[in-house]
Amino acid sequence: MSTNETPKPLPASDEAWWRNAVVYEIAAISFQDSNGDGQGDLPGLLQRIDYLNWLGVGAVWLTPIYRSPNRDFGYDIADFCAVDPRFGTQEDFDEVVRALHDSGIRIILDLVPNHTSDEHAWFTESRASRSNPKADWYLWAEAGPNGGPPNNWLSRFGGSGWEWCEERRQFYYHSFLPSQPDLNWRNREVREAMASTMRFWLDRGVDGFRVDASAVLIKDDLLRDNPPDPEADDKTPPPQANMPVFTDDRPEAMDCIEYIRGVLDEYDGRLLCGEVQGKTDRIGHFYGNSKPRLNLPLNFALLDTEWNAISLQATIDAYFNAIPKGAWPDFVIGGHDKHRVASKLGQAQARILAMLLMTIRGTPFLFAGDEIGSEQVPIPAEQVRDPFERLVKGFDLGRDPERAPLRWDDTEAGGFTTGEPWLPLSGDRARNIEAQQRDGKSLLNLYRELIALRRREPCLLHGEYRPRRAQNDVFSFERSLGETEILVGLNLSGEPRLFEWQGNGLILLSSGLDRGPGKVDGPIHLKPNEGVIVKVTR
Ligand code: NOJ
């Protein structure tokens, strides 16, 4: 195929390919550098597609690669339809899509509909006067009675969410940085403009989008003040001092998600997943009722729960009860905004999490590095890049520690770059991909085996989920499909524990280091931090 031909989408024969796929999030800047500038790029990613194939992931979610001044990890976009030169060219992007598709791997992109960079041409035009054609494309408001901000809405990154614009003598609203003005989703032209950007990428073979901040697309049109949060105390970061009832998760925002979904559905076999804020009991709304919304509202419950068998069973139960009948679940264990889970659970329990993630009903999402148990990388104050860390100090909100470049080998720059990495790599040189590929008992090889098993066993992909009672620090559940029944028992403690069940079965896989597959009948003496997958043969 010639390199300037637009890549073709994978055949849409399996409409719901995303039910079967393991989704692997990649922040290109931290994945693989190809030109020694210390920042990962698309040609670098291209060099690593063999690895993705080896691991067995079904889809890659790529965080923003669009033209951006990069004040917020590329989530401040100056042109939705251009690849930032830091990452390469449009041809490089097309090449990545082609190579992934040739390996049967889908690709989804971040869609950031809520805001642009203040360097976007739309904003330059909008801010110039009150009467230009794009005057109403952003959220503009008159000053409050004392000449200050129009109301008390706060930016998530600290301070008022309103910024004064001298040219218009008005304020504009920004949910995030002042350099990320919010678009006005009540304006039909804004919707249409965003639809065109979606089609631009869908026409290039992209398999779907992860919608950024999908719950905040609409803000109250009366600009009513948010009430103070009665539970806020000195441990609450200042941006969360008020309850965001008039800025977040407005009922009107659902209509925007439906609109975005409508555009996606002009194409066959594409996926819309999305970042949704709020409590588990709200997640069901994001699937849609009579009109479809997101295929997969991202579920972070496994990251938020206390890590013990009893909390886990409550968390998972609450989630399954919160999603509509027929809706497809998903579970996320990492991301560019989330502290590394291995730092929270420890390496032994990271293996248990891997087994849970790959055996529970739903699409698994992991962030590059989770498969080797990457931990938070300490970032010296002078090297901090994340504005969140700089603007809201003292609450451990910085996201650089999870965004550190991936370690491919044990050299100083980890095989990531030949230059100076944009963020320091982990000092734990032994924890790298090459070493774990060689070690048959590594977390990486456990992930690989689990992913392969998941593919081989339709019951693990499509089977019903049946809870069992967590006992004795063992969290367990059943999956069933037709005659097939699979039991999963996970020891969440660092002590030996009995996994109680009756019947005959075959151990398909243990997360432990010294138990191979084989026959079992009845209760299993689990080693500390051991999980097993048993196919029942009774
Ligand atoms: C959500 C993204 O995941 C996060 O990284 C970013 O800072 C905000 N949206 C603003 O775009």
Mind listing the pLDDT tens digit for each residue in 76-116? Answer: 999 999 999 999 999 999 999 999 999 999 999 999 999 99
Atom of ligand 1 nearest to the CA of 115: 11
Name the residue at shortest CA distance from atom 5 of ligand 1.
337
What is the CB neighbour count within 10 angstroms for residue 33? 25
Q: What is the mean pLDDT of residues 20-46?
A: 98
Task: Measure CA 437 to chain center.
Answer: 25
Dihedral sign, Cα of residue 527, residue 531, residue 533, residue 534? positive
Q: At what angle do helices 347-359 and 443-456 cross, to 10 degrees?
A: 10
CA 176–ligand 1 middle distance (angstroms):
8
Per the structure block, which two tokens stand in for 227? Answer: 């009430």
- Annotated catalytic residue 266: yes
C-alpha to C-alpha distance for 334 and 350, rounded to whole angstroms: 12
410 and 432 Cβ atoms separated by less than 8 Å = yes
Does 15 have pLDDT greater than 90?
Answer: no
Catalytic position from the list 14, 203, 265, 266 = 266
Mind listing the pLDDT tens digit for each residue in 485-521? Answer: 999 999 999 999 999 999 999 999 999 999 988 999 9
Catalytic position from the list 94, 212, 248, 530 = 212
How many alpha carbons lie under 13 Å from residue 362 in its C-beta half-sphere? Answer: 27
CA 212–ligand 1 middle distance (angstroms):
7
Mind listing the pLDDT tens digit for each residue in 343-354? Answer: 999 999 999 999
Q: What is the mean pLDDT of the chain?
A: 96
Atom of ligand 1 nearest to the CA of 63: 3
Mutate to test the pocket of ligand 1, among 76, 115, 176, 183 (most ligand atoms within 8 A of CB): 176
Q: Which pLDDT value is given to residue 389?
A: 87
Q: What is the mean pLDDT of residues 210-223?
A: 97
Mutate to test the pocket of ligand 1, among 26, 211, 212 (most ligand atoms within 8 A of CB): 212
- Specify the amino acid at residue 241: A
- By DSSP bridging, strand 271-274 and strand 296-297 are parallel
Atom of ligand 1 nearest to the CA of 114: 11
Nearest to 271 by CA among 320, 366, 198: 198
198 and 111 Cβ atoms separated by less than 8 Å = yes
Per the structure block, which two tokens stand in for 431? Answer: 């924890």
Q: What is the mean pLDDT of residues 290-313?
A: 97
- By DSSP bridging, strand 170-173 and strand 140-141 are antiparallel
Does 2 have pLDDT greater than 70?
Answer: no
Does 277 have pLDDT greater than 90?
Answer: no
Nearest to 140 by CA among 186, 195, 189, 79: 186
How many alpha carbons lie under 13 Å from residue 484 in its C-beta half-sphere? Answer: 17
Ligand 1 binding pocket, CB closer than 6 Å: 72-73, 75, 112, 176, 212-213, 275, 336-337
The percentage of the chain sitting over the pLDDT mark of 90, rounded to a whole number, equals 94
114 and 174 Cβ atoms separated by less than 8 Å = no
C-alpha to C-alpha distance for 242 and 230, rounded to whole angstroms: 8
Mind listing the pLDDT tens digit for each residue in 117-162? Answer: 999 999 999 999 999 999 999 999 999 999 999 999 999 999 999 9
Q: Which pLDDT value is given to residue 1?
A: 41
Residues in Cβ contact with 156 at an 8 Å cutoff, skipping those fewer than 6 apart? 175, 176, 239
Confidence band of 13 (pLDDT split at 50, 70, 90): low
Strand boundaries in 98-180, DSSP class E: 106-111, 140-141, 162-165, 170-173
Residues in Cβ contact with 248 at an 8 Å cutoff, skipping those fewer than 6 apart? 215, 216, 277, 278
Mind listing the pLDDT tens digit for each residue in 464-476? Answer: 999 999 999 999 9
CA 36–ligand 1 middle distance (angstroms):
27
Q: What is the mean pLDDT of residues 39-67?
A: 98
In eight-state DSSP terms, residue 396 is S
Name the residue at shortest CA distance from atom 6 of ligand 1.
75
Per the structure block, which two tokens stand in for 142? Answer: 């008159």
CA 181–ligand 1 middle distance (angstroms):
13
Name the residue at shortest CA distance from atom 8 of ligand 1.
75
Confidence band of 282 (pLDDT split at 50, 70, 90): very high
* Confidence (pTM): 0.96
Name the residue at shortest CA distance from atom 11 of ligand 1.
75
- Specify the amino acid at residue 281: D
Atom of ligand 1 nearest to the CA of 388: 7
Does 334 have pLDDT greater than 70?
Answer: yes
CA 72–ligand 1 middle distance (angstroms):
7
Burial profile 381-401: b = 16 or more Cβ within 10 angstroms, e = fewer: eeebbbbbbebbeeeebbbbb
C-alpha to C-alpha distance for 170 and 120, rounded to whole angstroms: 19
Q: Which helix (H) or strand (E) holds 46?
A: helix 42-47
- Annotated catalytic residue 485: no
For residue 368, count CB atoms less than 10 angstroms from its CB and return exposed for 0-12, middle for 13-18, buried for 19 or more: buried
Q: Which pLDDT value is given to residue 239?
A: 95
Q: What is the mean pLDDT of residues 184-208?
A: 98
Atom of ligand 1 nearest to the CA of 72: 7
- Specify the amino acid at residue 475: F
Name the residue at shortest CA distance from atom 2 of ligand 1.
212
C-alpha to C-alpha distance for 113 and 211, rounded to whole angstroms: 7
| Residues β-bridged to residue 426 | none
What is the CB neighbour count within 10 angstroms for residue 441? 12
- SS3 assignment for 177-238: CCCCCEECCCCHHHHHHHHHHHHHHHCCCCCEEEECCHHHCCCCCCCCCCCECCCCCCCCCH
**Backbone phi and psi for residue 109, each to the nearest 5 degrees, phi listed first:** -110, 160
The domains of the chain, with CATH numbers, are: 17-114+188-451 (3.20.20.80), 115-184 (3.90.400.10), 463-537 (2.60.40.1180)
Q: What is the mean pLDDT of residues 172-201?
A: 98
